[in-house]
Amino acid sequence: MGPPEQQAATPAAASDIVVEAEDVHYSIGGRQIFSGLTLRARRGRITAVMGPSGTGKTTLLRLITAQSYPASGRVSVWGRDVTTLRSREVFAMRTRMGMLFQNGALLTDIDVFENVAFPLREHTRLPEPLIRDIVLTKLHAVGLRGAAELMPAELSGGMARRVALARAIVMDPELLIYDEPFVGLDPIALGVILRLIQKMNEALGLTSIVVSHDVHELETIAHDSYLISEGRVVASGTPQELSRGGSPIVQQFMSGSPDGPVPFHYPAPDYETELLGEGAR
């Protein structure tokens, strides 16, 4: 599977922008997470959001889905500032989204079929025969129609991730969000998920946002990439352009080097003072 076709860089029209974060500032418990974050996801494209652990990638998804709100700046989805939406408007916005969580988040006490059917039963009044057809169609799309009666405990990690993907698309979303979709997968399962992300985006005309730190995997599928560090975007472009970037932090992340601007140690008091000082435990 080769990299997506590269297109000439052109300014995105307003109607082409599905998600936009503009000069976003956000803190948790006094810790600054974002300090001027700006990025956008364009219609019909796969946008990769990368960065070292703890840089707020999952927090960004919470802002996009209106689970949290920025202290300042603007997060807009389909042209609407999420902070201005009423509860019913947030609900309506979320029904246009699909979400693949880090661990799949399958319901363990119901089978594969019912896991995929769950959003339809919760949010629609479709007749049972139509629910059955939709669920089997989505399971077929991820290659697991034959696993409909299995329980989540009977699935491998890769199969569970594919079932979660079928559930994420069962409502035919316009925006599909992946939170660390490659974690814990063996090379074969990882390749399957990569192919499905690309296939779903093309076949269903989706806009996809993939949050991950797996650089080499994203290089094969992403159209646009953002690297987040220290609360802001430090590099953007195609994955190939990021690989050629000259910034030390970009080079450290793209090469996976342990030495560079991103420190090994979490900020702490002086080591000797803490060991020998009066505050020692």
Pairing of strands 72-77, 80-81: antiparallel
Q: Half-sphere exposure (CA, 13 Å, Cβ side) for 274? A: 5
- The 10s digit of each residue's pLDDT in 8-46 is 444 555 678 999 999 999 998 888 899 999 999 999 999
Tokens of 273: 């003072």
User: Sign of torsion, CA 270 272 277 281?
Assistant: positive
* pLDDT tens-digit map of 168-226: 999 999 999 998 888 878 888 888 888 889 988 988 889 999 998 777 778 888 999 89
Comparing 132-146, 181-195, 230-244, which segment has the lowest mean pLDDT? 230-244
* Domains of the chain by start residue, with CATH: 14-96+173-258 (3.40.50.300), 111-172 (no CATH)
Q: From CA 76, how far away is CA 88, in angstroms rounded?
A: 16
**What is the distance between the terminal CA atoms of the chain, rounded to a whole angstrom?**
55
Q: Which has more pLDDT, 79 or 274?
A: 79
